[in-house]
Structure 1
Amino acid sequence: MIVRSSVRLVVIASAIAVWAAPASAQEGRFERTLSVSGPVSLEVRTASGGITVRRGGTGVVQVTGTIRARRRWLEFGDVEGYIRHVEAQPPITQNGNRIRLALPEDERIRRRLSISYDVLVPGDTEVEAHSGSGSITVDGLQRNARTHTGSGSVRVSNVDGSVRADTGSGSVTLEAIGQAAEASTGSGSIEARGVGTDLDASTGSGRIVATLQGKGTVRAHTGSGSVDISGVNGAADVNSSSGGIRVDGDPSGDWKMHAASGSIVIDVPDEAAFRIDARSSSGSITVDHPLTVQGTVGRKTLQGTVRGGGSLLALSTASGSITVR
């Protein structure tokens, strides 16, 4: 009995080893070059895998796909055959200058394989990229970029148009964006450097750091983390449930700042004219500008005008100090 049991264990272990080894090693690859003329519209979708879209040469879109097996335990099927099928017939369609890199139509293939894309495109390209799970990188485009991943980081840089970047879990990094930018993550930090106009940034948990280069509105909300924004020239709405807030710029529109737990520091030009309504449940309120007080000054509230008034700075914190410099 003992011998037979040992034999069974050896056989089972050997079967597991044979089954598991190919799953980690099986990989395929395909390359395609597509001719285009004029502005390009590119859509990329993958259930599991990374997506990279970068600026390449004019007149062509070069697609490189990496196929990997993601076979689950005891899920049978000809994985090697599926890989060869995708290599021979990758899910790419072209209609003029509209190119779509899609999910495989066969559900068995979608379950067993992941496809990562590396795409070189002309600068005059608009891109929409979606991944169920995987990082996304976009760089060097003249038109708009829209990206979404269920889990993974997103990085978009050197885009002249507007940008929307979303991830369910992961960081978002934006750099040198010519027009409006929108970034959101369920859990992760957001960093936006050199945004041309409006910025809308929200994270369930993580810090937000941003610099703006042009006139536009700012909205930044975090459930847990600090907010640091420079170069605001317009209206601003900033909220942190747990963390401090620092904002500098020209209050040419109303600024609304609220920190549930943390201090607020505001830096404005020496000649700035504005109204202020500051409230701190626990902490000091300091204004380093010539202030004309309105109403009664209390330890927890301050209302008044600076240089005759202008846009409203509505600042409040439940726990922390408020400083306007």
Structure 2
Amino acid sequence: MRMSGRPCSRRAPQWPSLVAVFALAALTAGCVMREGAATSFEKTLTVDGPVRLEVRNGAGDTEITPGPPGQVHIRGEYRLQRFIWAGARRLEDLRDNPPIEQSGNTINIGLDADRLRYFTITYKIAVPRETLVRARAGSGDIRARGIRGPLRLNAGSGDIAAEDIGDEVEAGTGSGDIHLLRVEGPVSAGAGSGDLVLDALRDDVRARTGSGDITVSRPARRLHAITGSGDIRITDATADINISTDSGDLTILGNPAANSYWDLRTSSGEVRLDLSPTASFRFYARTNSGRIETRMPLVVEDKDRRTLRARAGNGDARIEVVTSSGNIRIR
């Protein structure tokens, strides 16, 4: 029988391929990091006068507190948000070379956004009281206390809180809340859909929110507040007030000071005034389809179904209330 001249083929061993696989695994073991891997750093900088601090944080919280004079202490923690190539090296680089720049008494933190991509970052910063702060966060919270300021704080979707600030505060957030307590300078606060809670503010206040509520306690000077569909509540009111809402309610408790002017307006919400028995003011109220109810002694000057002109005491202050379809109640 004639045998075929075709040689018998045998499968060659795949050792080179296996070696390549193991080599690649060994090579990448230190390059690809799991989600949640973290590192941290601490750094102390020396300053010799008032500090100017700027912080940018894409995703994570920032906390600024008072520390000893003459130094700024920074503690940062970086955490991976996702699997990333060369993650281990990037974590080591951030630990050994944190994104901090100093020029005299000016300190910048986190300005190199490309290095910080894919990381959640927490900063805890202790500064001298004489510090001006500009802080911005994409999706984290910002908290500051016990420094002079001024403060400029902005968050995309995080909360902002500041207390015991000796100068002006500007705070803005897209969908977070704002809490301000004991601020000596003027305040400007705005939120897209968050609430504003403001207490013991010693200078003029401007507050605005799209669909959140505004609560103000013990305003010492002029207050201007606007909300789209939220409620506004003010307690211990004495100075000038100018507030309005489209579909929310207005509630004011206080005693208008002499020569002060309260201008209160809402489209479809209710207005409630709870005033001191010793309050002295001239009062004008108008509603298109609501009711006007009074439960305090007033000297009525003119009245019909939709309007009321009256006086309490000597009429030292002036209060005007206008609503389209809401009720007006004063007591």
More helix by share: 1
Which of residues 25, 35, 46 in structure 2 aligns to 1:35? 46
Q: Does 1:177 align with 2:183?
A: yes
Q: Does 1:199 align with 2:205?
A: yes
User: What is the deviation of 1:137?
Assistant: 0.5
The 5 A counterparts of 1:124-203 are: 124-203=130-209
Count residues in correspondence.
Answer: 300
- Secondary structure (helix, strand or coil) at the match of 1:84 reads helix
User: What is the deviation of 1:140?
Assistant: 1.0
Which of residues 220, 225, 229 in structure 2 aligns to 1:220? 225
Q: TM-score by structure 1 length?
A: 0.84
The 5 A counterparts of 1:231-310 are: 231-251=236-256, 252-287=259-294, 288-294=296-302, 297-310=303-316
The 5 A counterparts of 1:100-119 are: 100-104=108-112, 107=114, 109-119=115-125
Residue 120 of structure 1 corresponds to 126
User: What is the deviation of 1:306?
Assistant: 3.8
- Secondary structure (helix, strand or coil) at the match of 1:30 reads strand
- The residue identity in structure 2 corresponding to 1:208 is I
8 Å contact from structure 1 (residues 292, 306) kept in 2: no
* Fraction of identical pairs, as percent: 31
- Secondary structure (helix, strand or coil) at the match of 2:117 reads helix
User: What is the deviation of 1:31?
Assistant: 0.9
- The residue identity in structure 2 corresponding to 1:264 is V
Q: Does 1:321 align with 2:327?
A: yes
- Secondary structure (helix, strand or coil) at the match of 1:85 reads helix
Task: Mark the runs of 5 or more structure 1 residues left unpaired by the alignment.
Answer: 1-14
Q: Whose Rg is larger?
A: 2
State the alpha-carbon separation in 1 of the partners of residues 45 and 117 from structure 2. 28
Residue 57 of structure 2 corresponds to 46
Which of residues 36, 49, 69 in structure 2 aligns to 1:58? 69
8 Å contact from structure 1 (residues 36, 59) kept in 2: yes
Q: Please tell me the root mean square deviation across aligned C-alpha atoms, in Å.
A: 2.3
8 Å contact from structure 2 (residues 222, 240) kept in 1: yes
Q: What are the superposed Cα offsets for residues 169-206 of structure 1, whole Å, 9 maximum, x if unpaired?
A: 11111112122222211111111111112121111112
User: What is the deviation of 1:228?
Assistant: 0.9
State the alpha-carbon separation in 1 of the partners of residues 174 and 187 from structure 2. 17
User: What is the deviation of 1:134?
Assistant: 0.5
- Secondary structure (helix, strand or coil) at the match of 2:122 reads strand
- The residue identity in structure 1 corresponding to 2:155 is T
Q: What are the superposed Cα offsets for residues 221-266 of structure 1, whole Å, 9 maximum, x if unpaired?
A: 1222221112233221111222221113343432111122222122
Residue 11 of structure 2 corresponds to none
Q: TM-score by structure 2 length?
A: 0.83
User: What is the deviation of 1:103?
Assistant: 2.5
State the alpha-carbon separation in 2 of the partners of residues 231 and 37 from structure 1. 42
Residue 6 of structure 1 corresponds to none
State the alpha-carbon separation in 1 of the partners of residues 270 and 163 from structure 2. 31
8 Å contact from structure 2 (residues 300, 308) kept in 1: no
CA 1:244–1:213 in structure 2 vs 1: closer, same or farther (change >3 Å)? closer
8 Å contact from structure 1 (residues 242, 259) kept in 2: yes
8 Å contact from structure 1 (residues 103, 110) kept in 2: no
